[in-house]
Structure 1
């Protein structure tokens, strides 16, 4: 389980997060949504140990990320695309990550095949299209066979076939008992895969719960998103 409780973050005089609290549960896909600047990236960075909170906690299976014994086996993440140096090949990048994390090298070929890059393992990352880079980022997230996935805009740059594929991947991970926390601006795709929704605006949670509850009274998730975030932003 991914647990965010009373999370606050301040950058100088600017309060980025205000008492953010929500949970992402096993067996479910949780969509983490909000406008640009709402605080989503700050929340995810704190959860993954890349930044520190001013107050509150962000825990993975009851522990801060930095305290996990095998982080790559516990939570796989993708925040900024592939995260690989442009001069490395896809295979070299994954092999290096596997060695650093104590993951068997057999997983390199397995995840390359899983994300549709089996024929591009020897290609340098600098030659990848945006969609191929996204697939490599997903391969890195899946390398340790983690119980939880934390993904920021994973469908960015993917073609329709790729979007359909990742929808099945995330649904399958959750249906097998895994936890998925997904941030995206593509409301239609999110609505097609999410069980739960957390909506952030102005650094505050403005709605959280079942997808059906958050969208109740609205024609779609997109309509609910604009209604709830526009009201919040207008009152800041």
Structure 2
């Protein structure tokens, strides 16, 4: 399980995140949805130990990321593209990541095949398209066969076939008992794959819970999204569609898929 408990982040006088609280549970795809600049990437960086919260905690199975014994075997992450140096081949990049984390070298060929880059394994990364770079980043995230996937805008640069492939990958990971936290601002894609939502606007979580429950009464996820984020922009309270407010014992504290919609 991934948990954000009262995460607040300040940069000098500016507050980026305020009391961010929600859960991402095993067996479910949790979409972290919000407009650009809402604080999604900042929250994920804190979860992955790349930044520190001013207060609160973001935990993986009750532990801070830095305290995980084998991080890449527990959490596979995609932030800011592939992270590979342009002069390296895809295969060399993944081999380096594998060696640095004690992951068997055989996994390199396996993940290249899985993400559709088997034929491009010896191609230098600087020749990759944006979509190929995203696939390489996903390959690195999958190397350690992690139980948790944390992905920031993974569909960027993917063509329609790639988006469909990604959707099937995420759904399969969750259906196999894994945890998926997917950050996105693409409402249509979120509606296709998510079981649960955590919606952030202005650095605050304005709604969270099962997708079906949250969108009830709104007609669509798009309608609900603009109601939540519009209320946040006006400084008012969002219509949570029957979900518990952050910090409570609401729907994300339970198991099962009741109330979800895909």
Q: TM-score, normalised by structure 2?
A: 0.89
User: Which residue is equivalent to 1:123?
Assistant: 123
In 2, Cα distance between equivalents of 1:206 and 1:122: 45
- Residue 178 of structure 1 corresponds to which residue in structure 2? 178
- Residue in 2 that maps onto 1:53: 53
SS of equivalent residue, structure 1 residue 84: coil
Please give the alpha-carbon distance, in whole angstroms, between the structure 1 residues aligned to 2:16 and 2:55.
12
Who is 1:154 aligned against? 154
Q: Quick one: distance in 2 between partners of 1:37 and 1:157?
A: 19
Aligned pair 1:72/2:65, yes or no?
no
CA shift digits 1:70-113 (9 cap, x unpaired): 00000000011111011110000000000000000000000000
Cα distance per residue 1:6-40 (max 9 Å; x no partner) = 10100000011111100000000000011111111
* Gap runs ≥5 in structure 1: none
1:87 has 2:87 as partner = yes
2:162 and 2:71 map into 1 onto residues whose CA distance is 27
Over 2 Å off, 4+ runs: none
Deviation at 1:219, TM superposition (A): 2.1
Query: Runs of 5+ in structure 2 lacking a partner?
Result: 237-262
1:42 aligns with 2:42: yes
Distance in 1 of aligned mates of 2:156 and 2:85: 19
- 1:105 aligns to 2:105 (yes or no): yes
What is the CA RMSD across the aligned residues, in angstroms? Answer: 0.8
User: Following the alignment from structure 2 to structure 1, what is the Cα–Cα distance between the partners of residues 87 and 214?
Assistant: 44
> Which residue of the partner structure matches residue 29 of structure 1?
29
Aligned length: 236
CA deviation profile, 1:105-150 (whole Å, cap 9, x unmatched): 0000000000000000000000001110010000000000000000
Deviations 1:184-229 (A, max 9, x none): 1221111111000000011111000000112111121122111110
**What SS does the corresponding residue of 2:88 show, helix, strand or coil?**
coil
Counterpart secondary structure, 1:87: coil
Matched, 1:234 2:234: yes
